[in-house]
Amino acid sequence: MTSARTRDRLVQRLRDQGITNLAVLDRIKNVPRHIFVDEALGSRAYEDTALPIGFGQTISQPYIVARMTEALLEGGPLHSVLEVGTGCGYQTAVLSPLVERLYTIERIEPLMLRAKERIKELGIRNVRFRYGDGIPGWKAHSPFDGILVAAAPLTVPEALIQQLKVGGRLLVPVGAEGEQQLIRFTRKEQRIEKESLGPVAFVPLLGGMA
C-alpha cells in the first residue's frame, strides 16, 4: 500500500484538484506518510483524507498540506518559517526542504517527541522543535517570512501577525467548527492584506500545554 503507484495516484489527485507547484507535488510523492500514522492505519496513509493520530488530533489530508504549503510559498522564497501545531510532523516533513529554517511548536509533548524522531529518521536537519503554546508564536526567532498554523483559532492571534516580516505570509484556518476558512494574511509596509482561500476543517487551536 506504500508503492510508487499508490503515491502517484495521490499526486495525480492533487493535480486534478489544482495543486501546480512541482516542488510541493514532489514532496507529497516522496515523504513516506505511512510513518506518521499508526501501523494499523498504514494501508490508508496515501488516501487523500485526514486520519487520527491520538490525543484528539489528526494528520491533515494531503490536499490541505499541499494547498497550505503552495499558498505559503507563493510570493517568494522563505528563509525563516514558523509552524504552529507540529502534530505528527507530516506537514513539517513536506515543508522543511522548501525553506531555509523551520521552527515548529507543539503543545502535546508525546506528539512533539514522536514528530522529532520521525523528522530525524528522514535526515531532515533544518527544523527546530519546541514543546509549548503556539498562540504567542516564537518571538526569539521572529520576524518570520512565513507562518503556517495547523489548527483553527476563532480569531487570529495578534502575536502571529506581529511576528511577520514585511512581505511575510501567515496561513491560518479561522473560525468555529463547520465554518472555517483558510486565510492568507500578507504583511505590507502600512497594512495587512487578507485573502480567503476557501473552506477547510481543522481541530481547534488551543492554548497551554498538554
Domain boundaries, the chain: 63-199
The burial class, CB within 10 Å (0-12 / 13-18 / 19+), for 76 is exposed
CA 78 to centroid of chain Cα atoms: 14
The burial class, CB within 10 Å (0-12 / 13-18 / 19+), for 83 is buried
CATH code for the domain defined by 63-199: 3.40.50.150
Residue pLDDT, tens place only, 138-171: 999 999 999 999 999 999 999 999 999 999 999 9
Q: Which residues contact 192 (CB under 8 A, 6 or more apart)?
A: 161, 185, 186
- pLDDT (mean) for 82-105: 97
Cell of 188: 505590507
Percent of the chain exceeding pLDDT 90 equals: 89
- pLDDT (mean) for 126-147: 97
Q: Is the dihedral of CA 161, 165, 167, 173 positive or negative?
A: negative
Q: What is the pLDDT of residue 42?
A: 86
Rounded CA separation 152/150 (Å): 7
Tell me how far CA of residue 176 lies from CA of 53, 179, 195, in angstroms. 22, 5, 18
Q: What is the pLDDT of residue 4?
A: 84
Percent of the chain exceeding pLDDT 70 equals: 99
Q: What is the pLDDT of residue 1?
A: 53
- 0.75 exceeded by the pTM? yes
**Active-site residue numbers?**
60
What is the chain's mean pLDDT, rounded?
Answer: 95
Is the confidence at residue 180, as pLDDT, over 90?
Answer: yes
The burial class, CB within 10 Å (0-12 / 13-18 / 19+), for 141 is middle
Q: What is the pLDDT of residue 59?
A: 93
